[in-house]
Amino acid sequence: MAGGRAKLESAVARPRMAAHYAEADLCEQAALLATGIAQAHAFVDNNKRVGYIVGVTFLRLNRRPLPGDQTLAFAKHIEAAVERAETTSDVGNWLREVTAALS
């Protein structure tokens, strides 16, 4: 896709910028990363899938893993954000709720 690399780089930078300028917590950063990649359409196909995988990996690497029974729900929240039925903040709030018990 035209501009795919720039779109991907922009999506990946979103959580870092939010952490620095808005003091976004880990769940908000994960939501920004996952939805940003999914919404960027940097790839010909599988944008939501890549966003989901990166979001789950980001949480795991930061010692805040997504509970196994919530994986499908996370994918649905990403899809809802791409379709603009939810905001990225909604996704971040949901992640905060489902990962809080593991902290």
Distance CA 72, CA 25 (A): 23
pTM, two decimal places: 0.93
Q: Under CATH, what is the fold of the domain 4-100?
A: Four Helix Bundle (Hemerythrin (Met), subunit A) (1.20.120)
For each of the chain's 103 residues, which pLDDT tens digit applies?
Answer: 567 899 999 999 999 999 999 999 999 999 999 999 999 999 999 999 999 999 999 999 999 999 999 999 999 999 999 999 999 999 999 999 999 876 5
Cβ proximity of 11 and 39 under 8 Å: yes
